[in-house]
Amino acid sequence: MARFLKSRIKAKGAAPGSLIFMGKQKMDGTRIRLMQYSKETNTETEYGTIDKALKSISNTHNNWLNIDGLHNTELIKHIGEHFNISPLALENILNTGQRAKFFEDHNSVTFITKAVYYNQEENKVSIEQISFILLENVLISFQERTGDHFEPVRNRIRNAFGKIRQRKTDYLLYALTDSLVDNYLINLEQIGLSIEALEEKLDNPTKEISKKLFQYKTEISYFRKSIKPLKEALTRLTRAKSEIISEENLVFFQELYDIQEQAIEAADSYFGMTNDLINLYNTNLSNKVNEVMKVLTIFASIFIPLTFIAGIYGTNFEYVPELHFKNAYFVMWGVMVFVAGTMLYYFKKNKWF
């Protein structure tokens, strides 16, 4: 399956709002976790079925329901029916090739974005779709697989660090999205350091360096394509004036917009840097070839007159006057050495090498 565009064969001809999973299944089962918290308390529970989790939703606490594994369409459908969520929102969640998106319904807000993983050893970027449905006191997050990018936020809730337990689930949505955007910058920094390290090796261009440069260009392009749409989604979120998102928390999303813009600028800079390094690599490679060709040309130029002299005395004419001189052989060598030496001196004087 293509990385830049997900296959839509399954959805071909389907009605709008059809719940069809489009993407690669990244885990066998489905993991259901519910974190409930208030100023004073915090509980975490993992459930075997979605029915038990939904029955445990509390009206007096903030509820964070996290679903790992998008392939279970029946589970997603059941959640949608329970909270009266638009089928169009659920359809977007199940399409893992969806751009970052903000979708507002009568009683909920759907926010879709991407999580980025960078494997430094394999020099490969992988993308996971993360989706959120925000209700009055419930935030539902959907992940393609179990990951640890939200663990810092979980620890803040567990330890009552900051004001996260004093605020509602709209602030939790901000905190989780902020964790993803911070991860963009962390991964970009790792990629950037690797790209900058290659610059020192370009004086001696090799096929391995060329391969790495083109791989970095592909990965940065994939990274940039995945995170850019979040900027538009954040713009729509801050302008929507939804009742579910309080005015006091909108300022945090506006700050998040600035951080996202910084991540996009960094990705653009590293993409441009990769192009510059590829051009520099090609220039250094051409210069190296030119140096070799220059040496070969000098040697060829020196041997042209020597070959001419050798050709004259290699002819088969019977009467060649010089052949009868006793020291003619040594004279010929002297002339050839003199010609070669004179040409080398001329080349050196004109700084041709």
Is pLDDT at 121 greater than 80 in this prediction?
A: yes
* Average pLDDT along the chain: 87
Q: Is a pLDDT exceeding 90 seen at residue 109?
A: yes
pLDDT given at position 10: 57
Q: What is the pLDDT of residue 225?
A: 92
Q: Give the residue-averaged pLDDT of 95-100.
A: 88
Fill in the amino acid letter for 195.
Answer: I
Among 2.40.10.10, 3.30.470.20, 3.30.413.10, 3.30.460.20, name the CATH number for the domain at 31-284: 3.30.460.20
What residue spans define the domains of the chain? 31-284, 285-349
Range from 8-17, 70-79, 197-206, 330-339 carrying the lowest mean pLDDT:
8-17
Residue-level pLDDT at 352: 73
Angle of helix 247-312 versus helix 229-240 axis, rounded to 10: 160
Long-range contacts of 280-288 (CB under 8 A, 24+ apart): 280/199, 280/202, 281/202, 281/205, 281/209, 281/210, 281/213, 284/202, 284/203, 284/205, 285/205, 288/205
8 A C-beta contact, residue 133 and residue 89:
yes
Q: What percent of the chain has a predicted confidence (pLDDT) above 70?
A: 95
pLDDT at 6: 59
Fold of 285-349: Methane Monooxygenase Hydroxylase; Chain G, domain 1 (1.20.58)
Question: Residues 301-348: pLDDT tens digits?
Answer: 888 888 888 888 788 777 778 777 878 888 888 988 988 888 888 888
Residue-wise pLDDT for 159-203, tens only, equals: 989 889 999 999 999 999 999 999 999 999 999 998 888 888 887
Confidence band for 1, pLDDT divided at 50, 70 and 90: very low
pLDDT for res 205: 81
Say what the pTM is: 0.80
Cite the beta strand spans of the chain per DSSP E.
31-37, 42-47, 62-68, 101-104, 109-119, 124-134, 138-143
Span 3-22, average pLDDT: 62
247-312 and 328-349 helices, crossing angle to 10°: 150
Q: Is the pLDDT of residue 16 over 90?
A: no
